[in-house]
C-alpha cells in the first residue's frame, strides 16, 4: 500500500518551536485561549490536528452520508448521561469508540462552533500519535473502520456496513465448459486505475475486464480435466447502495525508479448507470455522485480536502452560493487581470444530468473551512496535482432521510448543550476581558531616572484593572495623587536599561485612545521634577568604545546620531571628526563612513558591540575581507538543512536546523538534548517508517537522500536502537507493555512469548499471544508458536497481547446470523438475530442456545440446524452434538434452524437430499420431498437409483433417470455416464481445435487418456466431479426413458440463456439482461 503517500503535507505542519513573537498582549483577553469561532455556514469544519492526514475528509464523508449519520446518532449507548454509560458493547474500547463517534457527530450537527476537534475520536482508536495513519492507505483505513463498526454494532438493531459493503467475485472462467472457479470477497471500495483510462466508465470496464490465460498460462480446469484457455478477472457481484471508488493515480516511473502520481485527466460524471458493470447486468441502476475526497500533492505527501453534497438540504446552499458569486466578483474586480488559471466555476460540466438536484448543494470541506461551491468546480478535480482520489456515489433509489430530534438520545443533546453553554460563557468572558487592561504603578524611590536603572530588582507596585473606555482622568482619580504624573517605563531585558517613553497627560482621552498598553508599568513622579531623557525614541543603549584597545562604556540613545557620536569621540580623544575611523568590530562596518544624520538605532547594535576608535591612516582593503567572510558564511549555510521531528508520545512537530556532516548518532544525541530526553531513544525516518539501526549510526546525514533537500520527517521514540535487521514488537499484558527486538526471519513466536512471560512474571503454559485489530483488541491467536515472526506477518512496531488461555477473547468467538425456516426450503428463510458463541462450544450448546433464545420448547433432537451456503441455498445439516463448533465447516456463518415434527438423528453415512419428480411431457417438477441417501464411501449412481426406487416405492424394473440441479448455472446435470461423456465430447471437440494450434500431439493424447479414464469413473463416485453430490442438493428423477427431455424447465432455460449471453456480452457490456429475483428460480413448488 501507499503508506508514505499519506503523510501530512509540509505546509500543514504546525511547528512548536518557532521564533518567539515579541508582540505584547493588548488586553486581558490576549493571554486567554480564543473561544470557538462561531459557525458561519450550516456545516462545521474539523480542526486540523497537525497529523490527522486524511481523517478529516473521511469523517466528513461519513457525517455527510445520512445513513451513516443516522445509525451513529441513534445508538442508545448511555443510560442517562454520557458519564453513566451502559453496557452496549461488552468491550469497553468499542463502546468508547462508538460514543466518541456519536459525540463528534452531534457536535458537527449542533455545536455552535466553526470547527470541531477529532482528538477524542482518534485517541479512542489509539491513534494518538498519528503514526498509524501514515501506515495506512485511506481506503485501508476505510475498510478497518467499517469492519470495526460492523463488529461493534453486533447485537444491536443498527447496521452501517450493509450500506457500504459490496461483493466481488475473483474468478477464473474455463472457456471450454464455461464454469467459473473462484472466491468471493467483501469489498468496501473498488480500486479504479486512472492510468490508461480517460474516464470512470473506461476505468470500470478495465476493472471487470478479465485477461486471457492461454499458451503457457493455460489453466487446468477440474471439470474438463485438462488444461484450457481461461479468463481471469473480477466480477462485481453486488454493489453497495453507497459505493466508494478509489482512483489509483499512482504509477511507477521506471526511469526515475520511483512512484509518481499521474496528473492526467480522468472524468467522472454526476450520474452513472452501474447496471452494466454487474456480473448479472441490470437496467437503469443509476448512482449519483455524493462526494469526492481530494488529494493535493505528489506521490510522497499531500493534503486532503473534500467536496460533499448536502443531501438533506440542511445548508442554505442557494443563498450561500449567491454570496460566493458576489464575493468572487468583488475579488475579480480588485484583481482586474487575467491569470492563466482555468476558472472551472464558469465552464459547464461536459455531461447531461437527469436529476437537477445532483448539481446542487455542493460544499468544499477543507479542515476547519467549509464553503459552498458551484457544481462546475468539480471538474477542477478531474486532473492535476490536486485531483479526486475517492469518489462516493449512491444508489438513486436510496432516499436520504434525517433523524428527528426525538430519535437522537437525550444525553447527546445534554452533552452538546453543555458544550454550547460553555462556549457561550467563554465568549462572554473573552469579550469582557477584551475591554480591560491591567497596569502597574510604582513610586520613584527604587528608580535611578538619570542612569535609566532600577536601584532594586524588587519594587512594590500596585496593579489596577481598568476598562479601556475609561478616561485618563478617571485613572488619576482612582490613584488619587494629585501632585504626581504617571510616567511610563519599560525595561529592556537585554541591556537592563529603563526607557521612559511618555507621561500620561491628556485627561479627556480614554485609555484606548492614549494607547495605554496592557501590563504596562508606570512611575509616579512629582509634577515639578524635570526629566530630560523622556521620549519615545530615547531608548538607552550601551556602546563600548575601544580607545587604545581599552573598552569604555557609554550610555547613548538609539536616537543618537553619528554626528553626536563623533562629537563624543572628539571630546574623549581629541581626534577631529573627519579623521575619525569608527568601526563596528562585530560586523566590520565602518560607522564613520555613514552620513552624520544616521541614528544609532539603525545600526543593529548588540550588547557586545564594540566600536574601534582610530585615527585614519590609510585606506585598507577591507572590502575583500568582508567578501571572504560572507562566502564562508554562505558555505556554512549550504551544510545546514532543516529537519522535522516528532515525538512518539506527543502531538506536534518541531523544526530544527542541523549540519548534514554529522552522523545519525550525533543527530540522535542532538535531538535528545533539544527535548531534554535522558532515557534510551531511537530515531525513525517517517518516510518509509524505517528505524535507524545500530549500523546506521555512523552514517552521515548527507549520505541519505531524505536529508539532502531538508525537511526530512523524523520521529524520536522511546526504546533501544535495534540491532541490524531486527524489528521491534510490543507485547502488552494487562496494563503493562514490554518491547522486544527480534529477527523476523529467524526468531519464533515462542521466543516472544517466553521473553514476555518472563518479563511479566507469568506462566507461559497458561498464556497465549494474540494479534490485535485496529482498536488494539485481540483479533487472532498466534497458536502455532513454532512459526517465525515473518511467517505470522508481523511488522515493525506491531502490538501483541498476552492473555490468559482461559480468557474470553473475541477472536475465539464465532458470530452467527441465525435464520429460521418452517418448510425447510430457502424461500421461507427469515433472519432472526445475530448471536455469538465460543469456538469451543459444541453443537449441542448451539442448539440449546437456539431453543432457549427463541423459546422453542422442543427436544434437542427435533431441532435441525444447517449451513446456508454462499448461494443462499441450504447445505450441510450439522450433526455430532458433542463436536466443538470450530470443527464444523461453515460456509458463511449464516445458519438456519428448523423445528421438526419428529426427532432427527442423521448419521455420518446419511445425506439429506431434496428429490422431485420430473414430468417430461410438461417439462415441470412435482412432489418435492426430503430423502435420506444412505451413502457409502464412494456412492454410485446405482446405489442412488436403488434407494430412490425403494423410497418412492417403484419396482427396480422401471427405468429411473436422475439429474442434479447446478445452482446458479440453471442447469440440470443428467447423472448418466453416456450423457456426461457426450457433453465432454463436445468439449473435447473445442479442445482439439485449440490443441492443433498448439501442435502438441503428444500432450494431447495424454489428455485423451486422462479423459477416457475419467469417463469410466464418472458416476462411480457421485461425491466427486462432475456430479459433486452434497447435502442439500436437488435431485430430479424421471420414470422411463425420454431421450429428448433435458430435465430443464422453461424458466431454467431462459435464465441459462440469459446468463450465457451476459457472460459473452460482459466485455462490451451491451447486455441488458435483468437480474432475476433469487426466489424465482430457487425451487419449483407446485
Cβ proximity to Zn ion, 372 vs 987, nearer residue: 987
Task: List the beta bridge partners of residue 973.
Answer: 964
Identify the CA nearest to 515 among candidates 536, 545, 544, 541: 536
Cβ proximity to Zn ion, 226 vs 774, nearer residue: 226
Cβ proximity to Zn ion, 175 vs 262, nearer residue: 175
* Backbone phi and psi for residue 328, each to the nearest 5 degrees, phi listed first: -65, -40
Cβ proximity to Zn ion, 24 vs 1064, nearer residue: 1064
Identify the CA nearest to 912 among candidates 954, 940, 874: 874
Q: What are the angstrom distances between the C-alpha of 186 and each of 110, 237, 934, 938?
A: 35, 10, 37, 36
Q: Which three cell numbers stand for residue 306?
A: 473534500
Cβ proximity to Zn ion, 228 vs 321, nearer residue: 228
Which residues are within 8 A (CB) of 154 and not within 5 positions of it... i.e. 6 or more apart? 815, 834, 836
Q: Which three cell numbers stand for residue 723?
A: 540491532
- Residue 591 · residue 611 · CB < 8 Å: yes
Q: Compute, in degrees rounded to 10, the torsion defined by CA atoms 505, 509, 512, 516.
A: 0
DSSP state of 162: H
Identify the CA nearest to 6 among candidates 121, 139, 116: 139
- Count CB atoms within 10 A of the CB of residue 40: 13
What is the rounded distance in angstroms from the CA atom of residue 783 to the CA atom of residue 816? 23
User: In angstroms, what is the minimal distance from the CB of 830 to Zn ion?
Assistant: 37
Residues making up the chain, counted from first to last: 1086
Peptide bond into 966 cis (omega under 30): no
Rounded to 10 deg, the angle between the 92-110 and 410-434 helix axes is 60
Cβ proximity to Zn ion, 151 vs 988, nearer residue: 988
User: In angstroms, what is the minimal distance from the CB of 176 to Zn ion?
Assistant: 4
Q: Which three cell numbers stand for residue 54?
A: 486524511
Cβ proximity to Zn ion, 56 vs 984, nearer residue: 984
User: In angstroms, what is the minimal distance from the CB of 228 to Zn ion?
Assistant: 5
- Residue 561 · residue 480 · CB < 8 Å: no
Rounded to 10 deg, the angle between the 977-998 and 1001-1017 helix axes is 170
What is the rounded distance in angstroms from the CA atom of residue 150 to the CA atom of residue 160? 7
Q: What are the angstrom distances between the C-alpha of 984 and each of 223, 674, 830, 1025?
A: 9, 78, 40, 13
Cβ proximity to Zn ion, 138 vs 177, nearer residue: 177
What is the rounded distance in angstroms from the CA atom of residue 347 to the CA atom of residue 97? 44
Interface residue list for Zn ion (CB under 5 A) = 174, 176-177, 221, 223-224
Q: Which three cell numbers stand for residue 940?
A: 454410485
Q: Compute, in degrees rounded to 10, the torsion defined by CA atoms 615, 620, 622, 628.
A: -140
Cβ proximity to Zn ion, 224 vs 772, nearer residue: 224
What is the rounded distance in angstroms from the CA atom of residue 392 to the CA atom of residue 400? 14
User: In angstroms, what is the minimal distance from the CB of 177 to Zn ion?
Assistant: 3
Cβ proximity to Zn ion, 43 vs 226, nearer residue: 226
Q: Which three cell numbers stand for residue 573?
A: 580623544
Cβ proximity to Zn ion, 174 vs 516, nearer residue: 174
Cβ proximity to Zn ion, 221 vs 1035, nearer residue: 221
Cβ proximity to Zn ion, 81 vs 992, nearer residue: 992
Cβ proximity to Zn ion, 175 vs 912, nearer residue: 175
User: In angstroms, what is the minimal distance from the CB of 221 to Zn ion?
Assistant: 3
Of all helices (H) and strands (E), which one includes residue 131? helix 131-135
What is the rounded distance in angstroms from the CA atom of residue 811 to the CA atom of residue 803? 12
User: In angstroms, what is the minimal distance from the CB of 976 to Zn ion?
Assistant: 19
Identify the CA nearest to 263 among candidates 295, 215, 220: 295
- Residue 260 · residue 254 · CB < 8 Å: no
What is the rounded distance in angstroms from the CA atom of residue 717 to the CA atom of residue 721? 10
User: In angstroms, what is the minimal distance from the CB of 987 to Zn ion?
Assistant: 7
Q: Which three cell numbers stand for residue 553?
A: 562604556
User: In angstroms, what is the minimal distance from the CB of 175 to Zn ion?
Assistant: 8
User: In angstroms, what is the minimal distance from the CB of 1036 to Zn ion?
Assistant: 23
User: In angstroms, what is the minimal distance from the CB of 171 to Zn ion?
Assistant: 13
By 3-state DSSP, what share of the chain in percent is helix, strand and coil, each rounded to 5? 30, 30, 40
What is the rounded distance in angstroms from the CA atom of residue 103 to the CA atom of residue 992? 67
User: In angstroms, what is the minimal distance from the CB of 815 to Zn ion?
Assistant: 36
User: In angstroms, what is the minimal distance from the CB of 1014 to Zn ion?
Assistant: 12
User: In angstroms, what is the minimal distance from the CB of 226 to Zn ion?
Assistant: 8
User: In angstroms, what is the minimal distance from the CB of 979 to Zn ion?
Assistant: 17
User: In angstroms, what is the minimal distance from the CB of 223 to Zn ion?
Assistant: 4
Cβ proximity to Zn ion, 223 vs 730, nearer residue: 223
User: In angstroms, what is the minimal distance from the CB of 1086 to Zn ion?
Assistant: 35
User: In angstroms, what is the minimal distance from the CB of 1027 to Zn ion?
Assistant: 15
Identify the CA nearest to 653 among candidates 666, 644, 662, 661: 644
What is the rounded distance in angstroms from the CA atom of residue 148 to the CA atom of residue 902? 42
User: In angstroms, what is the minimal distance from the CB of 855 to Zn ion?
Assistant: 49
Q: Which three cell numbers stand for residue 414?
A: 445534554
Q: What are the angstrom distances between the C-alpha of 27 and each of 428, 500, 521?
A: 15, 21, 14
Residue 534: how many CA atoms within 13 Å on its side-chain side? 16
What is the rounded distance in angstroms from the CA atom of residue 446 to the CA atom of residue 457? 9
Amino acid at each position: 500500500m501507499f503508506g508514505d503517500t499519506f503523510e501530512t503535507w509540509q505546509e500543514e505542519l504546525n511547528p512548536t518551536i518557532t521564533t518567539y513573537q515579541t508582540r505584547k498582549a493588548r488586553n486581558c483577553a490576549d493571554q486567554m485561549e480564543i473561544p470557538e469561532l462561531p459557525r458561519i455556514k450550516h456545516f462545521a469544519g474539523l480542526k486540523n490536528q497537525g497529523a490527522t492526514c486524511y481523517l478529516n475528509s473521511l469523517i466528513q464523508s461519513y457525517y455527510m452520508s445520512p445513513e451513516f449519520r443516522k445509525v451513529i446518532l441513534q445508538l442508545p449507548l448511555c443510560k442517562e448521561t454520557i458519564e453513566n454509560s451502559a453496557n452496549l458493547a461488552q468491550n469497553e474500547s468499542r463502546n468508547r469508540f462508538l460514543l466518541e463517534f456519536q459525540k463528534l457527530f452531534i457536535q458537527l450537527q449542533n455545536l455552535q462552533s466553526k470547527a470541531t476537534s477529532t482528538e477524542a475520536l482518534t485517541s479512542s482508536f489509539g491513534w494518538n500519535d498519528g503514526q498509524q495513519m501514515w501506515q495506512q492507505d485511506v481506503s485501508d483505513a476505510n475498510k478497518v473502520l467499517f469492519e470495526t463498526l460492523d463488529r461493534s454494532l453486533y447485537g444491536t438493531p443498527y447496521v452501517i456496513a450493509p450500506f457500504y459493503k459490496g461483493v466481488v467475485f475473483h474468478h477464473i472462467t474455463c472457456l471450454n465448459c464455461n464454469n467459473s472457479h473462484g472466491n468471493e470477497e467483501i469489498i468496501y471500495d473498488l480500486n479504479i486505475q486512472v492510468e490508461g483510462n480517460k474516464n470512470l466508465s473506461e476505468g470500470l470496464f478495465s476493472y471487470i475486464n478479465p485477461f486471457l490465460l492461454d499458451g503457457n498460462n493455460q489453466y487446468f480446469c477440474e471439470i474438463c480435466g485438462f488444461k484450457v484457455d481461461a479468463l481471469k478477472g473480477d466480477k462485481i457481484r453486488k454493489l453497495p447502495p453507497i459505493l466508494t471508488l478509489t482512483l489509483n493515480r499512482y504509477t511507477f516511473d521506471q526511469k526515475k525508479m520511483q512512484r509518481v502520481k499521474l496528473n492526467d485527466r480522468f472524468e467522472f460524471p454526476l450520474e452513472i448507470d452501474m447496471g452494466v458493470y454487474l456480473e448479472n447486468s441490470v437496467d437503469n441502476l443509476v448512482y449519483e455522485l455524493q462526494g469526492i475526497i481530494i488529494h493535493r500533492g505528489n506521490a510522497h505527501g499531500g493534503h486532503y480536502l473534500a467536496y460533499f453534497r448536502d443531501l438533506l438540504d440542511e445548508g442554505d446552499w442557494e443563498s450561500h452560493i449567491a454570496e460566493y458569486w458576489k464575493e468572487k466578483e468583488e475579488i475579480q474586480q480588485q484583481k482586474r487581470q487575467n491569470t492563466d488559471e482555468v476558472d472551472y466555476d464558469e465552464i459547464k460540466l461536459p455531461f447531461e444530468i437527469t436529476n437537477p438536484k445532483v448539481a446542487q448543494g455542493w460544499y468544499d470541506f477543507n479542515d476547519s473551512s467549509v464553503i459552498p461551491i458551484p457544481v462546475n468546480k468539480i471538474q477542477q478535480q478531474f486532473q492535476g496535482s490536486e485531483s479526486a482520489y475517492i469518489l462516493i456515489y449512491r444508489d438513486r433509489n436510496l432516499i436520504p432521510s434525517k433523524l428527528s430530534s426525538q430519535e437522537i438520545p437525550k444525553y447527546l443533546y445534554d452533552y452538546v448543550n453543555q458544550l454550547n453553554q460553555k462556549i457561550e460563557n467563554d465568549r462572554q468572558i473573552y469579550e469582557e476581558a477584551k475591554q480591560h487592561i491591567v497596569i502597574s504603578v510604582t513610586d520613584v524611590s527604587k528608580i535611578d531616572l538619570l542612569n535609566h536603572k532600577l536601584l532594586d530588582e524588587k519594587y512594590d507596585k500596585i496593579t489596577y484593572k481598568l476598562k479601556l473606555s475609561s478616561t485618563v482622568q478617571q485613572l488619576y482619580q482612582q490613584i488619587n495623587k494629585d501632585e504626581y504624573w504617571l510616567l511610563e517605563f519599560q525595561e529592556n531585558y537585554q541591556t537592563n536599561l529603563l526607557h521612559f517613553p511618555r507621561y500620561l497627560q491628556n485627561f479627556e482621552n480614554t485609555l484606548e485612545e492614549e494607547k495605554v498598553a496592557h501590563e504596562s508599568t508606570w512611575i509616579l513622579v512629582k509634577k515639578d521634577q524635570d526629566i530630560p531623557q523622556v521620549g519615545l525614541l530615547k531608548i538607552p543603549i550601551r556602546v563600548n568604545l575601544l580607545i587604545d584597545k581599552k573598552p569604555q562604556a557609554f550610555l547613548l540613545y538609539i536616537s543618537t546620531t553619528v554626528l553626536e557620536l563623533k562629537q563624543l569621540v572628539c571630546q574623549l580623544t581629541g581626534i577631529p571628526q573627519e579623521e575619525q575611523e569608527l568601526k563596528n568590530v562585530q560586523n566590520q562596518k565602518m560607522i564613520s563612513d555613514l552620513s552624520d544624520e544616521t541614528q544609532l538605532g539603525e545600526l543593529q547594535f548588540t550588547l557586545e558591540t564594540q566600536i574601534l576608535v582610530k585615527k585614519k591612516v590609510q585606506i585598507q582593503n577591507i572590502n575583500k575581507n568582508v567578501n571572504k567572510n560572507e562566502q564562508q558564511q554562505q558555505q556554512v549555510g549550504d551544510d545546514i538543512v532543516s529537519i522535522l521531528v516528532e515525538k512518539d508520545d506527543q502531538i506536534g512537530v518541531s523544526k530544527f536546523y542541523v549540519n548534514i556532516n554529522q552522523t545519525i548518532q550525533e543527530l540522535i544525541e542532538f535531538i535528545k538534548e533539544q527535548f531534554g530526553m535522558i532515557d534510551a531513544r531511537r530515531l525513525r525516518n517517517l518516510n518509509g517508517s524505517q528505524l535507524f539501526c545500530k549500523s546506521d549510526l555512523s552514517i552521515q546525514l548527507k549520505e541519505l537522500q531524505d536529508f539532502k533537500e531538508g525537511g526530512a520527517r523524523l520521529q524520536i521514540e522511546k526504546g533501544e536502537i535495534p540491532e541490524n535487521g531486527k524489528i521491534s514488537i510490543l507485547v502488552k499484558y494487562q496494563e503493562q507493555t514490554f518491547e522486544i527486538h527480534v529477527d523476523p526471519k529467524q526468531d519464533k513466536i515462542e521466543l516472544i512469548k517466553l521473553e514476555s512471560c518472563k518479563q511479566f512474571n507469568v506462566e507461559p503454559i497458561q498464556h497465549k499471544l494474540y494479534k490485535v485489530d485496529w482498536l488494539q483488541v485481540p483479533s487472532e491467536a498466534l497458536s502455532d508458536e513454532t512459526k517465525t515472526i515473518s511467517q505470522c506477518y508481523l511488522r515493525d512496531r506491531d502490538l501483541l497481547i498476552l492473555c490468559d488461555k482461559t480468557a474470553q477473547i473475541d477472536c475465539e468467538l464465532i458470530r452467527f446470523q441465525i435464520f429460521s425456516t418452517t418448510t425447510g426450503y430457502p424461500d421461507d428463510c427469515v433472519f432472526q438475530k445475530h448471536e455469538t458463541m465460543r469456538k469451543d462450544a459444541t453443537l449441542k450448546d448451539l442448539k440449546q442456545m437456539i431453543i432457549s433464545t427463541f423459546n422453542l420448547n422442543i427436544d434437542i433432537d427435533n431441532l435441525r440446524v444447517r449451513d446456508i451456503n454462499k448461494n443462499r441455498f441450504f447445505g450441510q445439516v450439522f450433526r455430532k452434538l458433542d463436536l466443538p463448533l470450530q470443527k464444523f465447516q461453515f460456509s458463511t456463518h449464516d445458519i438456519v434452524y428448523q423445528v421438526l415434527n419428529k426427532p432427527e438423528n442423521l448419521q455420518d453415512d446419511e445425506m439429506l437430499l431434496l428429490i422431485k419428480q420430473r414430468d417430461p411431457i410438461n417439462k415441470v417438477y412435482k412432489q418435492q420431498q426430503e430423502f435420506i441417501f444412505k451413502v457409502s464411501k464412494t456412492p454410485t449412481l446405482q446405489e442412488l437409483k436403488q434407494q430412490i426406487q425403494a423410497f418412492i416405492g417403484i419396482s427396480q424394473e422401471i427405468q429411473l433417470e436422475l439429474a442434479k440441479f447446478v445452482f446458479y448455472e440453471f442447469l440440470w446435470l443428467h447423472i448418466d455416464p453416456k450423457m456426461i461423456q457426450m457433453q465432454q465430447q463436445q468439449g473435447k471437440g473445442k479442445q482439439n481445435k485449440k490443441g492443433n494450434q498448439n501442435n502438441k500431439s503428444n500432450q494431447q493424447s495424454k489428455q485423451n487418456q486422462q479423459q477416457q479414464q475419467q469417463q469410466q469413473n464418472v458416476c462411480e463416485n457421485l461425491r466427486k466431479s462432475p456430479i459433486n453430490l452434497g447435502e442439500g442438493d436437488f435431485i430430479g428423477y424421471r420414470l422411463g426413458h425420454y431421450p429428448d427431455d433435458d430435465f430443464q424447465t422453461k424458466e431454467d432455460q431462459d435464465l441459462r440463456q440469459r446468463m450465457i449471453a451476459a457472460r459473452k456480452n460482459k466485455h462490451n457490456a451491451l447486455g441488458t439482461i435483468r437480474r432475476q429475483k433469487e426466489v424465482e428460480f430457487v425451487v419449483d413448488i407446485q
